[in-house]
Amino acid sequence: MSARRFDGGAAALSLFAVLAGAKLLTLIGRDVPLPVWTPLAYFWQDALVAVLFGIVEATVKRAWVTWTLYGAIVFYAAINVPLVRTLSTPITWVMTRAVRGTLGNSIQHHLTAANLGLISLVLLMAIALPRFLKPLSRRQTMVALGLAIILIGTGPIATAQLDTVGLHRNALVALVTSGFSRVTPSFAWKDWRASPSGPSTREDLSRFHGAAANRNVVMILLESTGARYLRPYGAAEDPMPHLTQLAASSILFEHAYAVYPESIKGLFSVLCSRYPAFDTRAELYARVTTPAIAQVLARAGYRTALFHSGRFMYLGMDAILQNRGYERLEDAGAISGNFNSSFGVDEPATVKRMLGWIDSLSKGQRFFLTYVPIAGHHPYDSPEPRPFPGREEVDRYRNALHFGDEALGQFLAGLKSRHLDTNTLFVIFGDHGEAFGQHEGNYAHTLFVYDENVHVPYLIAMPGQIREPIRIRRTASLLDTAPTILDLLGIAAPADYQGKSLLYPQEQMALFYTDYSLGFLGVRDGSWKMIYEIESGRSKLFNLRHDADERCDLAKKFPERVATYRDRLLRWSAAQKSWLTQRAR
C-alpha cells in the first residue's frame, strides 16, 4: 500500500468505517433499542479510536508506521467480533489471564467456519476501504474531524440513556479501560448481610449442632453446576441422578448463592469464609492469613487432601491453595487419566486417586477431603455417549453433568464399600452456575450475576442421621460453608470468618459480584434481588417470588429500596477492597 493512500485522513476514515462495520456485526440479531441516541451511543468509542489514530498518522507521517498500526487495530477488532457475539464482551485485562492453554479446547470449539468468516469479513473491509477512499481535502478533513468530535462529545451522554450491556464498547478501549480499578478502597465495618428490612428468622437447624462430631468430611465443589438444571430444583431433566438420590435424604438449601461466578476466587470464599475483592489478582490472596477450614481441621486431628481434575496453574489457583492446611494437593498433572483435555482429566481417574488416598490412611483416622471436579466446564466434552441426544450446548452440558455425576456415584459407592458412608459428612454444592442465553448475551458463567450465573445447588448429607429431605428456603451463601461444617462438627469457627453457620434461623442476605468485563454487584434479600452495574450506575430490581426468571425490572417502582441496596453494595465492595489491599501491603 502506497504512502499516498494514507494522505489526508483517509486512513482514519477507513479505520472508523471498519470499526463501525465490526460493531454492526456484533449487533446483528440483538435486541438493540432504536431511539435517536442509538448511533451516538454505539459508535462514539470507534470514532475516538479513529481520531487518535489520525493524530498519530498526521504526526508520524511514515506510511509503514501508519499501515502497521492500522493493521494491528483492525486485526484486534476482527478477532473480538465472534467473542462479543458469543459472550457479549470484548477481551478485557482479566480475560487475558483466562485465555491460556487451559482453555485451549474451548477456544478450538469456537473456531467455526462462521466465526472465521466474521473475522475474514472485517479484514477484507480493512483491505478494501483504503483502496477506494480518495485522500480527503483539508476542508473535508476538518468537517470529518468536527463530526467525530461531536460524536465523541455526545456519545457518553447517549450511552447513559441506553442499557447497552457494554456492547457499545470499542474492543481496544475496553482492553485499556479494564486495566483501571473500578472500586476505590474505603475502610468500613458493618454486618453487610443484615437485611435493611430488619431481622427475620426462618427454618431452624440448630438441632444439628455437633451432630457430625467425629465424622469424616467430604466437601465437593461441582464445576459450573447451576441449580436450575437439576431435578431437586425443579428441572424436568435429571442429569445428576446420584445427586438427586442423595438429596432425598439431605438438607437442601433452595436459595444458595456463589459469591463470585468463577471457580478460583469462589474457592477462596469457601475455604477461608471471606469475600474476594473487586479488581484483584488471585496471587494477592496468598497473603491472607485467615485460617482456611483445612487448617482448622488439621489442628483438630484430621488428615486433609484436595483433589482437582483440572490444573492448579489456572487463574492463580495455586496461590489460593498453598499453605491452606492441605497435606495432599493433587491436580490433573499428578492424577493423569484415561481422558485428557486442555482443562484436565476424567473424573473416574480422580475418584480412583481419592479412594487410594483414603485407603492409605490408618484405620479410624478422620479425614477432610475436598473434591473439585471439572465435568461441567465448557466445552462440555464427555468421553462416551450420554443420555441427552440434542445438539444444543445445553444438551452437551447436561451430558457433561451426567458424566460427572456418574463419577460421583462411583465415589459414593467406594465409600460405602469401605463402610465409611455412615461415618461421613457430605457438603456438596455448585461452585457457580452456567448460562445458556436465559438473558440475551449471557453465556458461560463469569460475566453476569443473574440467577443462572450465581444460584447453585447446596446440600448437606449425613447418611444414617438425615433420612428424609429437609428443604430450607432462606437465603444461603457459599461464604457460609466453612463455619457451617465446623458447627456440624462441634468445632469453633475462627473469629474473622465473614460467613455464618447455616444451622441457625437468622435470615441473611447473599452478596455477590463479577469483574471480568462490566462490573456487576448483586444482592439477594428474601424474595428481592438487585443487580447494580458500576460503569453505567444502572440498577435492576426483581421480586423473585413472582418473577423467578428476572424479567420484570422494578427499580423505578421502588427507588428507596434500590438506593438502600446500592449504598450497601458500594460500601461493601469498597470495604472488601480495602481489607485485601491492606493485607497485600
The confidence band for 110, taking pLDDT boundaries of 50, 70 and 90, is: low
Which strand (E) or helix (H) includes residue 44? helix 38-60
Distance CA 357, CA 369 (A): 10
Distance CA 436, CA 548 (A): 16
In the prediction, which pLDDT does 3 show? 41
The confidence band for 218, taking pLDDT boundaries of 50, 70 and 90, is: very high
Q: Does 153 score more than 60 pLDDT?
A: yes
Q: Does 111 score more than 60 pLDDT?
A: yes
In the prediction, which pLDDT does 342 show? 58
Is 319:283 a contact under the CB 8 Å cutoff? Answer: yes
- 223-238 pLDDT, tens digit per residue, is 999 999 999 999 999 9
Q: Write the CB contacts of 458 (distance below 8 Å, at least 6 apart in sequence).
A: 252, 253, 256, 428, 429, 430, 476, 478
The x, y and z cell numbers of residue 82, run together, are 465472534
The confidence band for 166, taking pLDDT boundaries of 50, 70 and 90, is: very high
Is 203:508 a contact under the CB 8 Å cutoff? Answer: no
Is 407:375 a contact under the CB 8 Å cutoff? Answer: yes
In the prediction, which pLDDT does 65 show? 87
Rounded to 10 degrees, what is the CA torsion of 6, 12, 18, 20?
A: -160
Q: Write the CB contacts of 559 (distance below 8 Å, at least 6 apart in sequence).
A: none
In the prediction, which pLDDT does 100 show? 57
The confidence band for 282, taking pLDDT boundaries of 50, 70 and 90, is: confident
Q: Does 476 score more than 90 pLDDT?
A: yes
The confidence band for 6, taking pLDDT boundaries of 50, 70 and 90, is: very low
Distance CA 274, CA 292 (A): 10
In the prediction, which pLDDT does 1 show? 42
Is 221:270 a contact under the CB 8 Å cutoff? Answer: yes
Q: Which of 525, 559, 560 is nearest to 543 (CA)?
A: 525
Is 397:376 a contact under the CB 8 Å cutoff? Answer: yes
In the prediction, which pLDDT does 344 show? 75
DSSP state of 179: T
The x, y and z cell numbers of residue 12, run together, are 482514519
Encoded amino acid at 122, one letter:
V
In the prediction, which pLDDT does 107 show? 62
Which residue shows C-alpha cell 477432610?
368
Task: List the domain boundaries for the chain.
Answer: 4-177, 214-450+467-507
Judged by average pLDDT, the poorest of 36-40, 270-274, 403-407 is 36-40
**Angle at Cα 156 formed by Cα 154 and Cα 159, nearest 5°?**
110
In the prediction, which pLDDT does 2 show? 43
Report the percent of the chain where pLDDT is more than 90. 73
303-308 and 528-533 strand pairing? unpaired
Encoded amino acid at 344, one letter:
G
Comparing 341 with 471, the larger pLDDT belongs to 471
Q: Does 208 score more than 80 pLDDT?
A: yes
The confidence band for 301, taking pLDDT boundaries of 50, 70 and 90, is: very high
In the prediction, which pLDDT does 424 show? 97
Q: What's the chain's Rg over C-alpha atoms? A: 26
Q: Does 103 score more than 80 pLDDT?
A: no
Measured CA to CA in angstroms, residue 66 lies from 5, 7, 12, 60 at distances of 11, 10, 10, 8
Comparing 132 with 431, the larger pLDDT belongs to 431
Distance CA 149, CA 30 (A): 28
The confidence band for 101, taking pLDDT boundaries of 50, 70 and 90, is: low
> What φ, ψ does residue 539 adopt, rounded to 5°?
-115, 150
Check: CATH 3.40.30.10 for 214-450+467-507?
Answer: no
Measured CA to CA in angstroms, residue 232 lies from 203, 241, 249, 399, 427 at distances of 19, 10, 12, 17, 16
Identify the top-confidence range among 27-41, 50-64, 255-269, 323-337.
255-269
Judged by average pLDDT, the poorest of 50-59, 129-138, 372-381, 414-423 is 129-138
The confidence band for 193, taking pLDDT boundaries of 50, 70 and 90, is: very high
The confidence band for 400, taking pLDDT boundaries of 50, 70 and 90, is: very high
In the prediction, which pLDDT does 66 show? 86
For the chain, what is the mean pLDDT? 91
Distance CA 103, CA 336 (A): 18
Whether the pTM exceeds 0.85: the reply is yes
